A = this chain, B = another copy of it.
Amino acid sequence: MTASTEAPSETRIPLNRERVLTAAVHLADREGIGALTMRHLGQELGVEAMSLYNHVANKEDLLNGVVEMLVSEINERVADVPPIVDADDWKRAMRDRILIARSVLVSHSWAPQVIESRTEMTPMLIGYYDALLGLMLQGGFSYDLAHHAMHALGSRALGFTQELFAPDGEGGSSQATGVSVREMAIAFPNLAGMLQVIAHDPAEDSLGWCDDQTEFIFGLDLLLDGLDELRGK
């Protein structure tokens, strides 16, 4: 009975949860999170959409799995960060870990919105936060301060901030809002002034005049430095 089906057994790899999840990540990377539908994902795997339900409870579970996949990679890479040598070293270790997390997420531009739409904690995520908390406790934080610190960092602890009005940010194409440059200078004098000064100095950063990485690190250091101060109290 096996003989009859042996010939066309080509690359007929059986589907499983991991294959579904990695295909989902690649699909979202390639065509955006909007293209990640059950039907489209099934097609990607050469299978009907309904087959996916054998490996994933529903779409929510699919997205949870996808996040778990990314955070799992973060946790692997973060394991290489040198441990703390003394209490004062907490900030260095925390900064390193967070920037590693960022480097993993940065190639999945859809990840922030998917992560923020999750409603339940997953083991990998708990593990990531537990390690950060451990660093702060070694750094001499009280439980209470460490708890506040986690909330203050928010998604920054995972390496991202949701930029408000992302692409052309605060001003670039003023016609998006139907406001002329002259009208804008009158209605929004402070922004207009800032644009004039900052936009004319493109030497500072290689990217546009809002370098996401630079801004992320500025905000991160502002928070970590502030926490380092409080830690001593």
Contact = CB atoms under 8 A, between A and B. Distances in A.
Interface of A: 113, 115-123, 125-127, 129-131, 133-134, 137, 143-144, 146-148, 150-152, 154-155, 158, 161-167, 170-171, 176-177, 179, 184, 187-191, 193-194, 197-198, 210, 215, 218-219, 222-223, 225-227, 230
Given A162-B155, A165-B119, A167-B119, A130 B188 contact: yes
Contact of A177 (B122, B177, B189, B219): B122
A128 to B, nearest CB: 10
B165 A210 contact: no
Q: How many copies of this chain are found per oligomer?
A: 2
A191 B147 contact: no
A184 B136 CA distance: 19
A196 to B, nearest CB: 9
Contacts of A133: 190-191, 194
Contacts of A226: 222-223, 225-226
Ordered nearest first, which 9 A-B pairs have the shortest CB separation? A152-B219, A151-B215, A130-B188, A133-B190, A134-B190, A222-B226, A143-B197, A143-B194, A226-B226
Contact of A170 (B129, B161, B189): B129
Nearest to A188: B130
Given A190-B137, A218-B152, A116 B147 contact: no
A120 B176 contact: yes
Contacts of A120: 165, 176-177
Contact of A219 (B151, B164, B184, B190): B151
Nearest to A138: B190
A191 B154 contact: no
B187 A121 contact: no
